[in-house]
């Protein structure tokens, strides 16, 4: 499993557009893609017309309930963004071993994707 991230502190620089286009290109070339929308505006989620407020990526970080993996196509899946990610980020900052937290989450997901 390869992990590719698109990140920048500044908004409006094309992170969502780059992620969307690269993921679509990978899928067209036979690669399985799992998008995890970590933007509090959930723009990537909305690009795929998903407006689900339950079972979002926020559940992973808050350890509450399950997370739904939306099957967009045969090669693209998505974990929907959460509009409360800014608040969730503040909660995570106070956790011990916060640096290992994302690794733990990705390991849990790794058996679901290539």
Q: How far is CA 60 from CA 42, 66, 88, 97, in A?
A: 15, 8, 10, 15
What's the rounded Cα separation, in Å, for the pair 106 and 3?
9
Residues 113/78, Cβ–Cβ less than 8 Å: no
Q: What is the pLDDT of residue 108?
A: 66
Q: What is the pLDDT of residue 114?
A: 46
- Cβ neighbours of 44 (radius 10 Å): 23
What's the rounded Cα separation, in Å, for the pair 7 and 75?
23
Q: What is the CATH number of domain 15-110?
A: 3.40.50.300
Q: What is the pLDDT of residue 15?
A: 94
Residue pLDDT tens, the chain, 114 long: 788 888 888 889 999 999 999 999 999 999 999 999 988 899 999 999 999 888 888 887 777 778 899 999 999 999 999 888 877 777 777 766 666 666 766 776 665 554
Q: What is the pLDDT of residue 45?
A: 96
Q: What is the pLDDT of residue 101?
A: 65
Residues 31/114, Cβ–Cβ less than 8 Å: yes
| Sign (positive or negative) of CA dihedral 36, 53, 104, 13 | positive
Burial class from Cβ neighbours inside 10 Å (0-12, 13-18, 19+) for residue 43 reads middle
Q: What is the pLDDT of residue 79?
A: 92
């Amino acid at each position: 499993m390869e992990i590719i991230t698109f990140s920048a502190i500044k908004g409006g620089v094309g992170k969502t557009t780059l992620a969307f286009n690269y993921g679509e290109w990978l899928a067209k070339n036979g690669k399985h893609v799992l998008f995890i929308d970590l933007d509090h505006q959930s723009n990537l989620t909305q690009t795929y017309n998903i407006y689900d407020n339950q079972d979002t990526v926020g559940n992973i970080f808050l350890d509450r309930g399950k997370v739904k993996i939306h099957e967009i196509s045969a090669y693209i899946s998505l974990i929907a963004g959460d509009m409360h990610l800014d608040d969730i980020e503040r909660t995570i900052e106070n956790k011990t071993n916060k640096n290992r937290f994302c690794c733990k989450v990705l390991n849990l997901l790794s058996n679901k994707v290539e």
